[in-house]
Amino acid sequence: MKTLPDGRIQVEAGDTLSGIYGSNWKELSGYTGDPRNLPIGTILPAKPAGSLEGTLPPEGGEKTLPTQPVDRLSMFGDVLKMVTQRAAKEAAARGGEALPEGMLKPEQVSGSTFASVLNLVTQQKTRGIADIYQSTLTMISDTRARADRQLTMLVNTGAIADLDDKALKGLADLTDYPLDYIQSMKTAIQREREQKATTKLTDAGRISNLNEFFADKVGEDTKISAQTYIEGYKRWIGLDGAINDFKYSFPVEEWLGRHEWGNLPAGWQPKAQPTVQDIKTLQPEQQVFIQQVQNEIDSGRLDFNEALEKYPAIAVYLNAPGW
């Protein structure tokens, strides 16, 4: 893909409409031909501001920057400026006359100016201009490659959303990506954050959500079924809730009848508590014996703790003095 000076796009080998415009390629490209046979050289409309060319996949996927053609003219301007400065410094160090400050600016570079630099460097017998040019070109290429990697990292971590305009411009200067493209990446990440913030619920919000979900599923016994309870659990997890918080907010003992406990996963089933038989349902002689022991405890003739150890079978029916 080649971006023309006016922003339009010229198709190159391997380009696809979805790769250029993303999922909305039909509307954005206006292309009416067969997208599988996209002719090389076809001129397409410019991408709208903020378009990320499909570079932001669903959460969890690694984001990648689209291949951007290297701006050779811009790089040459940077190289030539640095070559001039380095040559002048070496000349001055060897006793030669330094080049006037600001002699070369990328927008003012001409063939005759470059020839003057070559002549000056040759006359002052500094090291070859070709060596300086090559080393400078390598240095700038490495710097831009590092900047591209840094930009990719900033997009993947979302940190690009925290950069100010000055930092974004610095990235644009160091990479081959235009400033408006980098700003659109920042805007997209900020939009992602806002969407997550508005959809993230607190525990109170999750509890309210599940109360509404359970409301029309409560039976005549005011309880819900094990299946409904499990569905509610899945709903809670889907709302980014923690497992323990769900069990604490919706105790099985309160929401399910005992006849439903066995339909839950084994680890969710409450442990059965021993039941105590009502004293009035015991045999008359048992009731009389318990009352006799209790009288001894109340009168002080028998210590309460000793009674518990001596009569463990009726311990649940005995009370401490004055209770």
Number of H helices, E strands in the chain: 14, 3
Q: What is the pLDDT of residues 146-203, one digit of tens each?
A: 877 888 888 888 888 888 888 888 888 877 778 888 888 888 888 877 766 555 567 7
Q: What is the pLDDT of residues 13-32, one digit of tens each?
A: 778 887 787 777 777 878 88
In this structure, the number of other CB atoms found within 10 A of the CB of residue 58 comes to: 5
Question: Which string of DSSP letters, residue by residue, matches 104-133?
Answer: --GGG--HHHHHHHHHHHHHTT-S-HHHHH
* Locus of tokens 């900033």: 154
Task: State the DSSP code for 225.
Answer: -
Whether pTM exceeds 0.85: no
Residue 214, helix vs strand vs coil: helix
Return the structure tokens found at 254.
């309160």
